Amino acid sequence: MTRRNHLIQPNGQPEFGVFPEGVERINYLDYDLRTTMDRKRGKLAKRLGFNQFQFISFASEYLIVGLAIVDLKLISNAFLYLYEPTTGRFEEFSFLQPLARHTSIEPAPNSGESKFRHGNNTLRIRAGRAPGIRKVDVNLNGRVVIDATVDESSAYQPLAICSRAGYDGWVFTQKSAAQLCRGRIHWNDSNYDLSDLNALAAVDWTAGFMRRETFWNWASLSCYLPDGRRLGFNFAAGVNETGFTENALWLDGRLIKVDMVNFQFDRYQPEHAWILRSSDGVIDLIFKPAGQRKEKINALIIKSNFTQHFGQFHGKIHLPDEMIELEGAWGFSEDHFAKW
What does the pLDDT look like over 162-175, one tens digit per residue? 999 989 999 999 99
pLDDT of residue 243: 82
Q: How far apart are CA 223 and CA 232, in angstroms?
A: 6
Cα–Cα–Cα angle for 160, 330, 201, rounded to 5 degrees: 40
Q: What share of the chain is helix, strand, coil (3-state, %, to 5)?
A: 5, 60, 35
Residue 123, classed as helix, strand or coil, is strand
Asked whether the beta carbons of 249 and 230 are under 8 A apart, the reply is no
pLDDT of residue 301: 81
Whether pLDDT at 1 is above 70: no
pLDDT of residue 100: 95
**pLDDT tens string 72-110:** 998 999 999 999 999 999 999 999 999 999 999 999 999
Whether pLDDT at 307 is above 70: yes
pLDDT of residue 299: 76
Whether pLDDT at 290 is above 50: yes
pTM of model > 0.85: yes
pLDDT of residue 2: 52
**Mean pLDDT of all residues belonging to the chain:** 95
Whether pLDDT at 161 is above 70: yes
pLDDT of residue 241: 77
Cα–Cα distances in angstroms (integers) from residue 241 to residues 165, 181, 246, 279, 314, in the given order: 9, 30, 8, 13, 26
